[in-house]
Structure 1
Amino acid sequence: MTDGSGLVALVDDDADLLHATTQLLELAGFTVVALDAAEAALAVVDRNFEGVVVSDIRMPGMNGLQLFDRIKAIDADIPVILVTGHGDVDLAVAALKDGVYDFIPKPYAGERLVEALKRASEKRRLVMENRRLREAAALAADGLPLIGEAPAIKRLRETLRQIADMDVDVLVEGETGTGKEVVADLLHL
């Protein structure tokens, strides 16, 4: 197998298949979160989920298509690959039109799933990198080159906005390399 790398939420109610597929993907270099129900996947997947979801379609309770709809509502950019042992061409076409990343009929060659996951993981990595860059650009566009979302940085940005236009003396203290000059420059803009 080739090196995959990336996070995969693998959902299948068949314990043997879940175990075998987990081993296959781990050997290919993926980090796998193995889940036996769609509901369990919803506890793992949120807007900041860095990976790809692979789900069986036919499962008790919530099926793979319902899971896909819920994931799409959380973040439409999370790639979802659906797998089914019931090769329904109409279902596959409808799912792909609805935004499913890929549809793989069982039985499938392990390499087919690995290749689909490599492409989907790269897509997700680019989406997440793009989001981070947009957030950093939005902060920089704010006029303050202080990047970060920690509470202390947020308070510092807000304090600098409040005192920048005031006619007051400000003493900036801190260890070497903490950004005193950056703060001083921002106060004098």
Structure 2
Amino acid sequence: MLRWRPRNGNAHRAHLTRPYSLFFFLAALATGCGGNDTLRNPPLATSANEGVVVSVADGDTFDLEIAGKRDTVRLIRVDTPETKHPTKGIQCWGPEASDFTKSLLAVGTRVRLVRDAESRDRYGRLLAYVYLADTNVFVNRELVRLGFARPYPFEPNTTHKTTFADAAWEAQGARRGLWGAC
């Protein structure tokens, strides 16, 4: 039978490291270091982060009323093809992306906003990850997963970077939406 022996000859220390390794692994698991849980348990709604959709401008921008005020929201980390851009015109799959967002975020829909490192972009739009208040559907992720948007780097807003990369990989592999049409 082969027995493991440390190279430095300190065999008596080998039996001490295993319990400590197990302890640190279990401690990391218990404290949540195993991954981001906001997909399954998004932050709870409060009056400061929940609003009602007023209108949808395009596939990744909409207006809502939040805390009695109207604001424009730009979905973080996603980019849908253009439908109203002054120089780019209407891009492939842009109208479909806009229509999908309009159906998902119909006027009157209650949404919950979760912010990241930066709260506004250079145009003054509120940057947010958006969840449907009633069902917890993660709107930003659904746009990418179903092929209506590409992941878009909004540094330093990187909380769900891996989530969107995985969703894009899934959409590309299945040739969904813009990945099959454009």
Q: Which has the higher contact order (CA 8 A, sep 6+)?
A: 2
Q: What band does the TM-score fall into relative to the shorter chain? A: under 0.3
Structure with the larger strand share: 2
